Structure 1
Amino acid sequence: MPEIQWEEPFCGEGNSCFRLGVDDFGNAFIAVNGQEDRFITDSRDALRSMILDIKSGKADHLLG
């Protein structure tokens, strides 16, 4: 498993908390808070775009 540096959790309304992380190779990761051993990975730009869309309310139905 890569050595991932996780950021503080971002929590929306209710129990929708997730964390972003990066490794030493510049890969980006996202996981549900508390389940960091089960993550998805993509480019940093792709995950940043997804998170910005979620934060702007474009995907609120996914966080409920």
Structure 2
Amino acid sequence: MTGINWEDPYCGEGNNCFRIGTDPEGNAYIAVAGQEEHHVTDSRDALRALILEIKAGKADHLL
């Protein structure tokens, strides 16, 4: 994707690998590694809040 600076993939144990990216306009992106053309887009603050909630265990019921 043009304009998106993708980070190295994050791979959980036995799970899919995800990538997080940002662009110069302040948007944040998250996608399955290798499928970056199918990403979710939001603000950096919204993505940061999502990651913090996941780390706090608030999405464990989805696993």
Question: Identity over the aligned pairs, expressed in percent?
Answer: 67
Number of residue pairs aligned between Structure 1 and Structure 2: 63
- TM-score scaled by structure 1? 0.77
Give ranges in structure 2 of 5+ residues lacking alignment: none
**Partner of residue 49, structure 1:** 49
**Partner of residue 13, structure 1:** 13
SS at match of 1:38: coil
Q: Give the CA RMSD over aligned residues.
A: 1.8
| Superposed displacement of residue 16, structure 1 | 2.9
Higher relative contact order (CA 8 A, sep 6+): 1
The list of structure 1 runs, each at least 4 consecutive aligned residues, that deviate by more than 4 angstroms after superposition, is none
| Superposed displacement of residue 3, structure 1 | 1.2
- TM-score scaled by structure 2? 0.78
Quick one: distance in 1 between partners of 2:17 and 2:60?
A: 13
Quick one: distance in 2 between partners of 1:47 and 1:34?
A: 20
